[in-house]
């Protein structure tokens, strides 16, 4: 039922065509070179199309053909380890078809490899009654991840057989209410619609990221949402990449939305060499990359976020914990603004379309910890971590504000911290998390109830430091009483030896929770001992000269947990000595 | 080829031609003005038999009845050849140096195609610029785009030519070329560049595109694209390492705004069009290294920040696309320090992949981080000591103050013909770090301290 018509007008990525009976959001092929586009507005017989490729040279009168289907992604084995553009075309295959390094127009490649045979093991039998979302079989897609093939449909299994199949071959059939449905290894899903679940739950388990400032002070829950706003150069991308590398999820979907080409290349070159901390296998085996760099067509950038989140939902439905990194959602919003402008829509705040807030909320709402669809109990989650790039670093602009309203964790990146090479440059006074209460129980059971107390005390010290710094700015540090100077000594330790973490260090790039606990315990012990020593009348100068301070300064490098016990003993002996004299 | 005499509206740089058929989007146009003058233009919008054409050049003299418009049936292309080296062109790619026309080996669409991220190679070769603040703290690597954020009256031109003159990769004798695009700069500035290129012999390996301040502003949209098309051709077809200097991107953005307002588009921030980010990215992203080619395109765009404001849309959007920035500071310039590079807000995102053992030196990263932290701390203390006096500071703090001063005098400051290699730069850095007590050197590895730190007797 392919409908066709002709181009009437061209203005940048927006094309108007005379296309009778068109449906909103259907995908169309535009012009002689068959550029991919999507219908975004219909006025009478005229369809307004956003084209995912450069429209130079297109002429009025050229044909437009509708595929009769909305923009969808292919979900099946072969997604992992792949790198896609914004509309799920594998960049590797594009390179092959273009025969060069530049992306030419009108390239048509299928998202999943049509030739590759997958070893499918059926887990249901002929005669079984299954529901939508039930697992009908598995494929070992990579060494790390077992791909669970789910039934798109309720019914009775007529036939099913294990064996080697390509994605298009039938592995069996299903009948429901007299109709027969073929079972395949892949399915298609409309990207702008979220995939259904049985039930959503409040998040209760932390996403362990291995980043001290996040895990300790601003934990993100599995199934939660977080945003990272910050001006350029404050380390958004490094933070996002650290989270992608070191967080304890099974699947990572990384969307490079309107960002730098060289940065995506870095991810591409680096991930195959990075090892999964648990299994030692390359991280790439659990990763899907979506790269729509800033100079690639703007309409595909708009679609890239939806493509990514739909893929994430598919793996969640298998029962996996998925982390989705979107870098950056501001570029996505700008793509909406650009297209909105071409459509001559009435702009809202700062030229952004009026539906910006709704789109952002809809996107973040696709996160969550869920009971998956299907008759057997299965739980999965999507955690969304979105970077925001506010102009000039000022978060009062619409994208930041609308994001803050829906996300629960706010990691405020701070340029002044970045200037002094304090990384991750997350400002501990401005950031917040709303998951602390929900996660307290988990931390208590799995780490120590003492941990949450220490965290609160450490935070109080850091806040106190900010107040004291104001005084110091006026009168100098020596005017403070010794007790307050001691606070500054401890908070300096907290900042330099705890909050700072080197993403490029072999040992320190990922810090396990028990090490975090020990490190914080060491500093807090030092703080307590300092306090009581000063009460005893020990001079602060003597404490400052304790050799243990420089040992603490190098505790990030510790690998063996027993070392911490020694370190804490060293603190005790050091203080015992100065208190004696 | 189709010719029309049906202009029905002229508005600023735009003309509207009616009753056209078979005209393509972005197609090139020739406009014959009464009197025989020929101008170029490009189709911006086409539909319902009306084509909107943007004229490169003044629209004065164009009339609705006497002017002929010819649609050329192709998008803007540049004829490229390696014979372009040593030549100077105007902003539309026509010879400016009285030399003959270049015989094109290939005609390439100037808007360029996006590079497939999968086909890129990650930039990791250190380029030594001979400037300490750049080499040590904001290292430039091949294939990077690193802009210079400057302000009116700061010596960015001097710095740009110094980089062009000194930039080299250690220990290689590979083919090297400079592509220079001047956008809306004054005649005086242009001749400064020309003189310097001639004097140092750099001109024979350079291609110059000059759009000067009195040239039509619409041409400014074209000029950087011509330069980058040439750069890509030399890099990917002739395996050359091309350094592309573009100055001044602020003039480019002004031209973009001018056209946008003539088209009556909905403006974004400060009247700049909403698509400026995407537009700028199609310029800046044309840098890098790719598979299957030895060459590379490295970009150093220069822009002047209006009112020295880094949050102004031009530097802001640029900073979000480029891989860092070199920021020039008016304070340092006032102190008579050249080059006035302020290392704190400057950044090179690709630095870590270009430095270290085998590339520069094993201690490079640690030294750079330590200097950053020390200088940042010293600068904070400077404002504190202004309030409470230097005597109120602790002994360590006084040393930080000293390192901040010495850093500016000995490390940042250098002559415009002084070419420091990386070893020299790092040894100055270690010299500075020796001011601090050893306990404070937390960011350098202990064995590096042993190896490189010279203890001074006090």
- List the CATH number of the domain containing B59: 2.40.10.170
Q: With 70 as the cut, is the pLDDT of residue A249 above it?
A: yes
- Asked if B56 and B182 sit in the same domain, the reply is no
The torsion of the CA quartet B41, B45, B50, B56, rounded to 10 degrees, works out to -10
Angle at B139 between CA B137 and CA B143, to 5 degrees: 160
Q: Residue B358 falls within a domain, yes or no?
A: no
Q: Is residue B359 part of a domain?
A: no
Query: What's the rounded Cα separation, in Å, for the pair A452 and A439?
Result: 10
If one counts the domains in chain A, the total is: 4
Length in residues, chain B: 458
Q: What is the pLDDT of residue A281?
A: 86
Of B24, B273, B373, the CB nearest to A421: B373
Residues B281, B372 within the same domain: no
B119 touches chain A (CB under 8 A): yes
For position A398, which CATH number holds?
3.40.50.300
User: pLDDT for A77-104, tens place per residue?
Assistant: 999 999 999 999 999 999 999 988 899 8
Residues A359 and A266 in one domain: yes
Q: What are the residue ranges of helices labelled H in B181-328?
A: 187-199, 219-238, 249-262, 276-284, 313-321
- Cα B320 to Cα B302: distance, rounded to the nearest angstrom: 15
Q: What CATH number corresponds to the domain at position A535?
A: 1.10.1140.10
Q: In a 3-state reduction of DSSP, which class is residue B299?
A: strand
Domain at B151, CATH number: 3.40.50.12240
CA gap B156, B162 in Å, rounded: 10
Crossing angle of the two packed helices A562-580 and A513-535, in degrees rounded to 10: 10
State whether A418 and A526 are in the same domain.
no
Does A571 share its domain with A493?
yes
**B303 and B382 in a common domain:** no
Residue B320 lies in a domain: yes
Question: Is residue A191 in some structural domain?
Answer: no
Q: Distance (Å) from the C-alpha of residue A13 to the closest C-alpha of chain B?
A: 10
Per-residue pLDDT of chain B (458 residues; tens, 9 = 90+): 788 999 998 888 889 999 988 898 989 999 998 888 888 888 988 988 899 998 887 888 888 888 999 999 888 899 999 999 999 999 889 998 888 999 999 999 998 889 999 999 989 899 999 999 999 999 999 999 999 999 999 999 999 999 988 888 776 677 889 999 999 999 999 999 989 988 888 888 899 999 999 988 888 999 999 999 999 999 999 999 999 999 999 999 999 998 888 877 878 788 898 889 889 999 999 999 999 899 999 999 999 999 999 889 999 999 989 999 999 999 999 999 999 999 999 999 899 889 998 889 999 999 999 999 999 999 989 988 888 888 888 888 899 999 999 999 999 999 999 999 999 999 999 999 999 998 888 888 888 998 998 755 43
pLDDT for the residue A131 = 92
Give the domain CATH number at A159.
2.40.50.100
User: Which among B74, B113, B118 has the least Cβ separation from residue A83?
Assistant: B118
A369 and A334 share one domain = yes
Looking at the fold, whether A278 and A409 belong to one and the same domain comes out as: yes
CA distance B184 to B205: 23
Given this model, what pLDDT does residue B457 score? 40
Mean pLDDT of chain A: 91
The alpha carbons of chain A give a radius of gyration, in whole angstroms, of 27
CA–CA separation, A259 vs A388, rounded Å? 12
Per DSSP, the residues of A495-518 read IIIII---TT-TTTSS--HHHHHH
Beta bridge partners of A148: A138
CB A294 within 8 A of CB B322: no
**Residue that finishes a domain, picked among A126, A152, A185:** A185
Structure tokens, B432: 């500075």
B215 lies in the same domain as B270: yes
Nearest-CA distance A468 → chain B (Å): 14
Q: Are B231 and B301 in contact (CB under 8 A)?
A: no
DSSP state of A419: H
Domain assignment of residue A49, given as a range: 3-70
Final residue before a domain boundary, out of A446, A462, A490: A446
Do B377 and B248 fall into the same domain? no
Instruction: Please list, in sequence order, all residues whose beta carbon lies within 8 angstroms of the beta carbon of residue B224, skipping any fewer than 6 positions away.
Output: B181, B183, B246, B249, B252, B283
Q: Which run of H or of E encompasses B71? A: strand B68-75
- The pLDDT of residue A2: 61
Backbone angles phi, psi at B413, to 5 degrees: -65, 125
Which residue, B26, B54, B74, sits at the end of a domain?
B74
**Do B243 and B174 form a contact (C-beta atoms < 8 A)?**
no
Residue among A357, A443, A431 at smallest CA distance from A400 = A357
Asked if residues B325 and B334 have their Cβ atoms less than 8 Å apart, the reply is no
A393 and A267 in a single domain? The answer is yes
Same domain, B343 and B380: no
CB contact burial A260-274 (16+ within 10 A = b; e otherwise): bbbbbbbbbeebeeb
HSE toward the beta carbon, residue B430, CA cutoff 13 A = 20
Question: Beta-strand (E) ranges in A246-320?
Answer: 251-257, 287-292
Residues B246 and B347 in one domain: yes
Last residue of a domain, one of A152, A185, A218: A185
- Average pLDDT (A21-40) is 89
Q: Is residue A131 located within the same domain as residue A225?
A: no
In a domain, A396, yes or no: yes
- Are A300 and A398 members of one domain? yes
Question: For residue A344, is it within any domain?
Answer: yes
Q: Do B46 and A504 touch (CB under 8 A)?
A: no
Q: Does B46 contact A98 at a Cβ distance shorter than 8 Å? A: no
Nearest to A215 by CA among A398, A435, A413: A435
State the residue for tokens 């603190």.
A571
- Residues B53 and B246: their CA atoms lie apart, in Å, by 26
Inspect the interface and report whether the beta carbons of A10 and B292 lie closer than 8 Å: no
B100 in a domain, yes or no?
yes
From start to end of B365-441, where are the E strands? none
Tell me the pairing of strands B296-304 and B148-150.
Answer: parallel
Last residue of a domain, one of B352, B387, B413: B352
As a whole number of angstroms, the distance between CA A437 and CA A481 comes to: 35
Whether the bond between A424 and the residue before it is cis, its omega within 30 degrees of 0, is yes
| Domain range for B430 | 364-457
> Residues 6 or more apart from A146 whose CB is under 8 A from it?
A138, A139, A140
In chain B, which residues have their Cβ closer than 8 Å to the Cβ of A389? 320
Q: Could you tell me if B6 and B134 lie in one domain?
A: no
Angle at A241 between CA A235 and CA A247, to 5 degrees: 125
Q: B370 vs chain A: nearest CA distance in angstroms?
A: 9
B133 located within any domain: yes
Long-range contacts from B307-316, C-beta under 8 angstroms, 24+ separation: B308/B151, B310/A392, B310/B149, B310/B345, B311/A391, B311/A392, B311/A393, B311/A394, B312/B270, B313/A391, B313/B253, B313/B268, B313/B269, B313/B270, B313/B272, B313/B276, B314/B249, B314/B250, B314/B253, B314/B272, B315/B149, B316/A232, B316/A391, B316/A392
Same domain, A385 and A507: no
Q: Could you tell me which residue, A397 or B169, shows the higher pLDDT?
A: A397
- CA B54 to chain centroid: 26
A335 in any annotated domain: yes
Q: Give the three-state DSSP class for B294.
A: coil
**Residues of B whose CB is below 8 A from A291:** 117-118
Residues B222 and B178 in one domain: yes
Query: Is A387 exposed, middle or buried (CB count within 10 Å of its CB: 0-12, 13-18, 19+)?
Result: buried
Chain-chain contact of A104 with B22 (C-beta, under 8 angstroms):
no
End-to-end Cα distance, chain A: 93
Please tell me if residue B384 touches chain A, with a CB cutoff of 8 Å.
yes
pLDDT digits (tens, 9 = 90+) for A362-383: 999 999 999 999 989 999 999 9
Total count of domains within chain B? 3
Residue B430 and residue B391 share a domain: yes
Q: What is the pTM of this model?
A: 0.90
Report residue B217 as tokens.
Answer: 């502003």
Tens of pLDDT, residue by residue over A433-478, are 999 999 999 999 999 999 999 999 999 999 999 999 988 888 877 8
Contact A333/B268 with Cβ under 8 angstroms?
Answer: no
Asked if the structure places residue A409 within a domain, the reply is yes
Domain with residue A13: its CATH number is 2.40.30.20
Nearest CA-CA distance, residue A120 and chain B, Å: 30
| Residue numbers of A between 448 and 467 with CB closer than 8 Å to B | none
Residue A31, C-beta contacts closer than 8 angstroms, at least 6 positions apart: A7, A55, A58, A59, A62, A63, A64
Whether residues B70 and B82 share a domain: the answer is no
In a domain, A367, yes or no: yes
Q: Rounded CA gap, A33 and A19, in Å?
A: 18
Q: Which of B74, B92, B118 is the last residue of a domain?
A: B74
Measure the CA–CA gap between A302 and A306, rounded to whole angstroms.
8
φ, ψ for residue B333, nearest 5 deg: -65, -40
Question: Which chain A positions have a beta carbon within 8 Å of B379's beta carbon?
Answer: none
Please give the radius of gyration of chain B, using alpha carbons only, rounded to the nearest integer: 25
Helical ranges in A271-355 per DSSP H: 298-317, 329-342
Same domain, yes or no, for B104 and B135? yes
* Residue A502 burial by Cβ neighbours in a 10 Å radius (0-12, 13-18, 19+): middle
Please indicate, yes or no, if residue A108 is contained in any of the structural domains: no
Whether A179 and A207 share a structural domain: no
A367 shares its domain with A253: yes
Tens digit of pLDDT for each residue in A263-322? Answer: 888 888 888 888 877 778 888 999 999 999 998 888 889 999 999 999 999 999 999 999
- Chain A CB contacts of B325 under 8 Å are 233
Q: How far apart are CA B96 and CA B90, in angstroms?
A: 6
Q: What would the two tokens of residue B345 be?
A: 């807000």
Tell me which residue has tokens 């698509």.
B275
How far away is chain B from the Cα of A544, in angstroms, using its nearest Cα? 12
pLDDT score for B458: 39
DSSP 3-state of A93: helix
Are residues A441 and A456 located together in one domain of the fold?
A: no
To probe the interface with B, which of A294, A388, A475, A493 has the most B CB atoms within 10 Å? A294
Indicate yes or no: CB of B21 within 8 angstroms of CB of A61: yes
Look at residue A86 and tell me if it is in a domain: no
Q: ∠ at Cα A407 (A402, A409), nearest 5°?
A: 130
DSSP state letter for B72:
E
- Does some domain include residue B357? no
């Amino acid at each position: 039922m392919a409908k066709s018509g002709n181009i009437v007008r061209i203005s940048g990525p927006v094309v108007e065509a005379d296309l009778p009976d068109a449906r909103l959001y259907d995908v169309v092929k535009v012009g002689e070179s068959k550029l991919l586009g999507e219908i975004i507005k219909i006025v009478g017989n005229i369809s307004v199309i956003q084209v995912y490729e450069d429209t130079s040279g297109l002429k009025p009168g050229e044909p437009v053909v509708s595929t009769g289907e909305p923009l969808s992604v292919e979900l099946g084995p072969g997604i992992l380890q792949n790198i896609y553009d914004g509309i799920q075309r594998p960049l590797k295959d594009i390179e092959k078809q273009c025969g060069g390094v530049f992306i030419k127009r009108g390239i048509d490649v299928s998202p999943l490899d049509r030739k590759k045979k997958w070893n499918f093991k059926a887990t249901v039998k002929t005669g079984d009654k299954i529901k939508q979302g039930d697992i009908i079989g598995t494929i070992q897609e990579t060494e790390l991840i077992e791909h669970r093939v789910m039934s798109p449909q309720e019914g009775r299994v007529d036939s099913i057989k294990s064996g080697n199949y390509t994605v298009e071959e039938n592995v069996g059939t299903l009948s429901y209410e007299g109709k027969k449905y073929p079972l395949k290894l892949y399915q298609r899903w409309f990207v702008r619609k979220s995939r259904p679940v049985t039930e959503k739950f409040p998040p209760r388990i932390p996403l362990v990221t291995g980043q001290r400032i996040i895990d300790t002070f601003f934990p993100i829950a599995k199934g939660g949402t977080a945003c990272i706003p910050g001006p350029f150069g404050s380390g958004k991308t490094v933070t996002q990449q650290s989270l992608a590398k070191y967080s304890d999820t099974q699947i990572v979907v990384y969307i490079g939305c309107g960002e730098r080409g060289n940065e995506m290349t870095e991810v591409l070159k680096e991930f195959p060499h990075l090892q999964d901390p648990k299994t030692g296998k390359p991280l790439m085996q659990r990763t899907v990359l979506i790269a729509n760099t800033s100079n690639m067509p703007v309409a595909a950038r708009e679609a890239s976020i939806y493509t990514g989140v739909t893929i994430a939902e598919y793996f969640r439905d298998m029962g996996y914990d998925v982390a989705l990194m979107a870098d950056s959602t501001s570029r996505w919003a700008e793509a909406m603004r650009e297209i909105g402008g071409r459509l001559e829509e009435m702009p809202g705040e700062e030229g952004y379309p009026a539906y910006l807030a709704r789109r952002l909320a809809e996107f973040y709402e696709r996160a969550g910890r869920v009971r998956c669809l299907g008759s057997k109990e299965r739980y999965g989650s999507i955690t969304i971590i979105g970077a925001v790039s506010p102009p000039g670093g000022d978060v009062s602009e619409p994208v930041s504000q609308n994001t803050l309203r829906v996300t629960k964790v706010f990691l405020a990146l701070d340029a002044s911290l970045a200037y002094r090479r304090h990384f991750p440059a997350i400002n501990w006074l401005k950031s917040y998390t709303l998951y602390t209460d929900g996660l307290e129980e988990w931390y208590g059971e799995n780490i120590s109830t003492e941990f949450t107390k220490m965290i609160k005390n450490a935070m109080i010290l850091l806040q106190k430091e900010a107040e004291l710094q104001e005084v110091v700015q006026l009168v100098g540090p020596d005017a403070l009483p010794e007790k307050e100077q001691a606070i500054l000594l401890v908070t300096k330790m907290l900042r330099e030896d705890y909050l700072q973490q080197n993403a490029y260090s072999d040992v320190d790039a990922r810090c396990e929770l028990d090490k975090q606990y020990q490190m914080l315990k060491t500093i807090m012990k030092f703080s307590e001992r300092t306090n009581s020593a000063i009460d005893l009348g020990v001079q602060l100068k003597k404490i400052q000269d304790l050799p243990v301070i420089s040992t603490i300064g190098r505790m990030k490098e510790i690998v063996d947990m027993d070392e911490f016990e020694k370190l804490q003993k060293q603190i005790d002996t050091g203080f015992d000595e100065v208190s004696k004299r | 080829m189709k010719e029309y005499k049906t202009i029905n509206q002229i508005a600023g740089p735009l003309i509207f031609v009616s009753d056209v058929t078979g005209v393509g989007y972005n197609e090139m146009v020739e406009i014959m003005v009464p009197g025989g003058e020929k101008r170029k233009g490009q189709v911006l919008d086409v539909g319902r038999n009306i084509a909107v054409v943007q004229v490169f050049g003044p629209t004065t003299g164009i009339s609705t009845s006497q002017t002929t418009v010819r649609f050329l049936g192709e998008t803007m292309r540049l004829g490229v050849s390696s014979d372009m080296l040593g030549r100077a062109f105007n902003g539309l790619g026509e010879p400016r140096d009285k030399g003959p026309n270049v015989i094109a080996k290939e005609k390439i669409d100037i808007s360029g195609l996006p590079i497939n991220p999968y086909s890129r190679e990650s930039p990791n070769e250190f380029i030594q610029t001979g400037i300490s603040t750049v080499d040590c703290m904001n290292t430039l690597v091949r294939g990077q785009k690193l802009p210079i954020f400057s302000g009116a009256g700061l010596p960015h031109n001097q710095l740009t030519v110094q980089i062009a003159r000194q930039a080299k990769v250690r220990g290689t004798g590979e083919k090297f070329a400079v592509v220079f695009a001047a956008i809306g700069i004054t005649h005086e500035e242009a001749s400064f560049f020309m003189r310097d290129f001639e004097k140092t012999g750099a001109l024979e390996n350079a291609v110059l595109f000059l759009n000067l301040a009195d040239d039509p502003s619409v041409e400014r949209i074209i000029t950087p694209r011509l330069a980058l098309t040439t750069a890509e051709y030399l890099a990917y077809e002739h395996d050359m390492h091309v350094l592309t200097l573009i100055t001044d991107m602020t003039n480019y953005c002004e031209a973009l705004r001018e056209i946008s307002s003539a088209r009556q588009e909905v403006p974004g921030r400060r009247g700049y069009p909403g698509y400026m980010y995407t537009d700028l990215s199609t310029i800046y992203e044309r840098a890098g290294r790719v598979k299957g080619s030895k060459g590379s395109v490295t970009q150093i765009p220069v822009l002047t920040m209006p009112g020295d404001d880094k949050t102004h849309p031009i530097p802001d959007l640029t900073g979000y696309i480029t891989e860092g920035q070199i920021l020039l500071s008016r304070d340092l310039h006032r102190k008579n320090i050249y080059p006035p590079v302020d290392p704190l807000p400057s950044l090179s995102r690709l630095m870590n992949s270009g430095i270290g053992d085998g590339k520069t030196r094993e201690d490079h990263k640690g030294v750079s981080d330590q200097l950053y932290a020390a200088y940042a701390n010293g600068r904070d203390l400077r404002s504190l000591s202004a309030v409470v006096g230097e005597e109120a500071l602790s002994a360590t703090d006084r040393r930080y103050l000293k390192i901040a001063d010495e850093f500016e005098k000995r490390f940042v400051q250098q002559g415009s013909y002084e070419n420091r290699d990386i070893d020299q730069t790092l040894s100055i850095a270690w010299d500075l770090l020796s001011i601090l007590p050893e306990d404070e050197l937390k960011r350098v590895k202990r064995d590096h301290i042993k190896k490189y730190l010279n203890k001074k007797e006090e």
